[in-house]
Chain A
Amino acid sequence: MSLSFASPLLLWGLAAAALPLVIHLFFRRRPKPVPFPAIDFILRARQETRRRLRLKKILLFLARTSLLAAVALAIARPRLVAPEARAAQGPAGPAAVAIVLDASASMGYRLGGGTLFDRAKADALEVLTGLGSDEPATVVLCGGPLVPQAEPPSFDKAELRRRLAEAELTHGHADLTSCTGAAVRALSESAPGQALRRKLYVATDLTAVSWRLDAPAPVVTTPAGPVRPEVTLLDAARGEALENAWLSNVAADPDPAIGPRGYRITATVNGQRKEPEGDATLSLRIGVGKEARVAVKSFIEIPQAGSMKKTLSHDFSPGGPAAVSLALPEDAYPEDNALFLTLNVPREVKALLVDGAPSPVRQRDAAFYVEAALAGAASPVRPSVVDLDGLSRVRLADYDVLFLLNVRSLGPKAPEVVDFVERGGGLFLAMGDEVDPESYELELKAVLPAPLHVVKTAASEHGEHAAARFAEVDWEHPALSVFNGPAREGFESVRTYRYMLLKPERKDSGSRVIARYDDGSPAFIEARRGQGRVMLYTSTLDQEWSDWAIRTSFLPAMQRIAAFLAGGLEERRDWPTPVFAPRLVPAPEGVQVISLLAPDGGERKVEAGRGPWAVTPDVPGLWQVRVRRDNGKEGLDPTLAFAVWPDPRESDMRRLEPSELTAWFGGEGHARVAGDRPPGEGREVPLWSWLLLAGLAAFLAEALLVA
């Protein structure tokens, strides 16, 4: 066993033990002269007590000196180190030192009034302070997406101190295996001619996800061959378990049960705790910043270990883009207590149905079926029906979508319809006996996805085998993406007896066929015209040419098509991205993106020019986009806001057993954990508590002697 000190610099405090001697020699009080008659008695009394007083003085001096020396020694934290533990500290002599500071998001965990990162930084600075002038050092900051870089050790301690002092916590993940590898490589480059020891200090929270123990442990390359570094793990958590509760996922799905703009928000709640926590609140907040409000609050039980799901429903009327967040009560690691989600809730769509062939027989009236499909309680569409005569009296600008159902010709209204589409309106064309391809070619050529050709009859009778079926369906199309699994059967089983053939479209027409019949003829064809969208269905929406109107797929498909044509459905759903994952900010037409507003309030400028812009969000939360429109107005565009989620790996606070890590570094002969949990229980005996006891005993002895 040998004696060592955790803070040897503090041994300077031992000088305080000389204070009683200094006071005795230099600050002795001069006795006050006093005449006194019975001086003989004083002489005799002093003679009798002289020996006892001298002994008392010596004891008092020893007690005071011991008290100061014991306290000064205790502050330096001495300990007896067993030979094997001593070996972990390596032989004496100067060393090249690499300090790895874990700056990953999990280091933001709050413990004892501060973050683990604050502690780790203080530990690293203490190590740097304790280095001798002949010991070069380097610092590696570990966290975020960047590849860890380590410069060769240098003697510029001031620069290293500045780097450590200015180091900031990141919101990313730390791969400490890579970081320690980089640090050890830097140690390999330090003064190869000198016989320096190689020391590696890692200030971390010891979370298991930061280490890849299946990789080989780093070794220092020296001229004499590979050497394991002397590793000291500075445990910022001081051996304490890190409890955490977090949200790992939030998903939103339409919930027609509560309305056309109803959504089910499902949160996945995880717990890593000593005990489950009951009656924890899960809040659904809408909005961001000061305008955020709690819409729904629910009580859940956070599991001790594992996860659970909780679904909250909310009606997001009147629709439009919405920023939603789900939040747990803030705990020691607040980064993962809330997750944002952006929704594009469909607005109310006003649809005008132009019935080209009104019929008293409902089965022969397409408008009857379409109106019934669009006017459901959960439908975002509000339909109105007019005939051709009525169309002339209607102001198209009051509507979002125009349905032309078996209309022969628009006549003088045609230019207005074309203008309506090019200004952003939606147009749906359904065929029928009344449709005249030539009139359409003349009047609507500018907006038609493809020129009409002739009507094809697939089956003269309503027969099961003769009818055409939908095939080659683009299920990813927003209008059809609602059909999943068995639900697709309701669409694929539609029987079509007659349909309009189309002339081959030009390659630059911008049209897209989203469903064809089994003979390859287009069934649905879609195109963008101007700012509007046009969709052409080559059969009828009554039961004359097809039985789709009575199929289960008709109602949702028509509602989705109406919403799509009105611009209420996006082609791609905006999924949240993890922090530090690159993503593209789209460039809508007529809009210039200026900057991104980060959740922490910072503004990130984007390069001038046309997008899309590639960005790497470095803070979790809701990112908003500041835009300048063609009309010169600037502001935040809520449709472009996107959610960034914290790195899920950092939420896993399970810690490594120190023995696992020291074993990975080569065993206790090469690695140890500094702090309150030294490796090899019993190999190191802390002496400071005994010294404090000795100091207390000296203090009591001094008090007794003085009394």
Chain B
Amino acid sequence: MITVQGITKKFGDITAVNNISFSIREGEITGLLGPNGAGKTTTLRMLTCYLKPDDGAISVGRYNVDDSPVEVRKIIGYLPESAPVYGDMLAYDYLAYIAEVRGIQDKNRIDEIADLCGINEVMHMGVGELSKGYKQRLGLAQSMIHNPDILILDEPTSGLDPNQIIEIRNLIREIGKKKTVILSTHILPEVEATCDRVIIIDHGTIVADDRTENLQSMSGGERLVLVSVSGPDFRTLSGEIAGLPGVTRVEEVPGGELVTARVAAAGTADVRPELFRLAGAKNWTLYELTQEQRSLERVFRDLTGGGAK
């Protein structure tokens, strides 16, 4: 659906985006994650043809962004970071204007989209008078009014209260069932809650690109499995486990009556079947065997150098 090949964007001496490539399939919710100033917004702005890449190519659907920006914009719905800022307009007039520019003839569409985004009760109010939450919903309504195939959302939940965040996330999840959604954020739980796939950007380059669950389970190139058994002591257990193929490390997890160990395995190897067979062969009672979900926060910190650069 979207293919990005080696795009670079510089602002004077600053390289905001440096030779990044990725592709996004249809019907995927992709999170663009990175610390502030990592190049997320610049990347999204290039996807929406607001900015031109200095180098590289982007194709959206069957269109090239350079050659057919207007065609690309027709199939994309975009919620900019600071939208909407038509402070003096009424919410209804704002949507009517967007509908007119997009050539939407059906007047009922405005009411439909207002219904979907839950902004019916504020349609008569000035955009400047709306709360941050309603402004964001109005921006979402604007981005979806033409029923686009691709929805690009730049920090869709920034500045919202926890209830509004949950509502917007649910809305994005709902939309993501039928559309391709790309959202940028620096809030990790947002990605965990909404995205199928994560692209982590830092200093204008991609540092990770994988499915959310893979990133959560991978820990610096290794998978972690928690195993609890009764029967052996930790020394025996770790000695036996260390002999299994792919196992790089066995740590004791203290506490409880059972013997619990955290087993690290290299790469993508899954040691759980081996552990299960080992417990059976040694006649140990297996109480727990789970792959540890490492929070994205840790992955993010590891990959972006603590996130405080």
Same complex origin of A and B = no
